[in-house]
Chain A
């Protein structure tokens, strides 16, 4: 997978997060993780179909997810990762991925579509994305660690 494929997603992430209550969204590091990744906490899963196919996963620990949702809800206390917090996190995933499609379109990759987000909450889990290699981007969003996994492949049109 061409590493440049993640640029529209990084652009989207850093553009959307300040619009939903965050001061900063900084990219910390990028790594290649193969098709399998371990998770512990909350994942937002969104599929993508078009010239690029695959999935984007946004992951964070359960505590980070509560903290993240609280920030999105203007500092409201989030003691439990309840349905309101779940909805907030999944809406963030939806906005980031929908905006990423717009960014891809600006980069000449148009016609991409996304599925509605699904949330997975688990411990010591393993996810296998439908691509040989996944790119993991570590972000620090107002001191909350967020991982974005990009597993996309280009399909011949």
Chain B
């Protein structure tokens, strides 16, 4: 990608300077600055930026009015609100107008640059997620198995799981929400889970509930750790996980009709653990 050209709109000289410095440090070029509605369109049309950062509270016309004027002038204009205000009503209004993103002041430089990049090339982040996703979930599972049970683990990547997977006995499903929503499936046999409980608790399991609770907790930790790792790679993923639902039955078929899943088998001393991950593409660039 060539150098990203940005225009900064803010009534505060200090804020403009700070945002401009942040953008330059992130490798962007600041091609124009405007402090009010009066100079807005002229500056925009002269510098033709790739993206505009827009303050909300300004004397005279506010950031919403300025954004409407910019979008009327150029419907393809890409605008990010950069404001200390961030509440549901303000976000809803911004979305209605057609503003592409939102970053709160004080500006986190890395976040602002990532939001800009994501707006300008919306597929790049998804492609990174698909490339890294399964490996990171595998890593999270490996970390937890080796830390908790002090036993080795290795992975065999499966062909993409497109049609169905037949459960070994216990299936945990965790929903993932964020820039790209998705699902994690973890599946293992009751025997494998039993053996794992015995190592963890240093005694045999008392009942099936205890075993299912351990599996749910393991899946919960794996999904939480993996999503944190992905969020560290790029804050704009903003991934969050749902609590786990656990299904117990032999031969239950698990099907993901609308979501292509990537999958691997973890080889452990307790038995194989199936891990399936899928994310929806989506088009949100909203942060």
A-B interaction = yes
Residues in chain A within 8 A of chain B (CB atoms) = 39, 43, 45-50, 53-55, 57, 83, 86-87, 90-91, 94, 110-111, 113-131, 151
Cβ–Cβ contact B257 & A119, under 8 A: yes
**Residues of chain A contacted by B182 (CB below 8 angstroms):** 115-116
Cβ of B273 within 8 Å of any chain A Cβ, yes or no, is no
* Complex-state Cα separation, A43 to B246, whole angstroms: 13
**Nearest Cβ on chain B to A139's Cβ, whole angstroms:** 21
| Contact between A48 and B242, CB atoms less than 8 A apart | yes
User: In the bound complex, do residue B212 and residue A47 qualify as a contact, i.e. CB atoms below 8 Å apart?
Assistant: no
A selection of 28 A-B contacts at a CB cut-off of 8 Å is: A45-B173, A47-B175, A47-B245, A53-B242, A55-B173, A57-B245, A83-B163, A86-B257, A90-B257, A91-B257, A114-B177, A115-B182, A115-B242, A116-B182, A116-B278, A117-B257, A118-B185, A119-B255, A120-B255, A122-B247, A122-B251, A122-B253, A124-B249, A125-B249, A128-B212, A128-B245, A128-B248, A130-B244
- With a cutoff of 8 Å between Cβ atoms, the chain A residues found around residue B216 in the complex are 128, 130
Chain A residues positioned under 8 Å from B241 (CB to CB) = 49
A126 to B245, CA, bound (A): 11
Q: Name the contact of B249 in the complex, choosing from A111, A126, A130 (C-beta under 8 A).
A: A126
Chain B interface bracket (under 10, 10 to 19, 20 to 34, 35 or more):
35 or more
In the complex, what residue of chain A is closest to B162 when comparing beta carbons? A83
Add 4 more A-B contacts to A48-B242, A119-B256 (CB < 8 A): A83-B257, A120-B171, A121-B253, A121-B255
B176 located at the interface, meaning its Cβ lies under 8 Å from any Cβ of chain A in the complex: yes
Q: How far is the CA of A122 from the CA of B165 in the complex (A)?
A: 12
Q: Is the CB of B245 within 8 A of A127?
A: yes
Instruction: Please name all residues of chain B whose beta carbon is closer than 8 Å to the beta carbon of A45 when the two chains form the complex.
Output: 173, 245
- Contact at A130–B243, with CB atoms within 8 Å? yes
B2 CB-CB contact with A under 8 Å: no
B88 near A110 with CB under 8 A, answer yes
The 8 lowest CB-CB distance pairs between A and B, nearest first, are A47-B175, A115-B175, A122-B252, A125-B249, A130-B243, A47-B242, A113-B177, A49-B177
Q: Which of B243-283 contact A (CB under 8 A)?
A: 243-249, 251-259, 278, 280
CB contact between B258 and one of A53, A55, A117 (< 8 Å): that residue: A117
* Chain A min CB distance to B258 (Å): 5
Interchain CB contact under 8 A, A125 and B252: yes
Query: Who on chain A is nearest to B247 by CB?
Result: A127
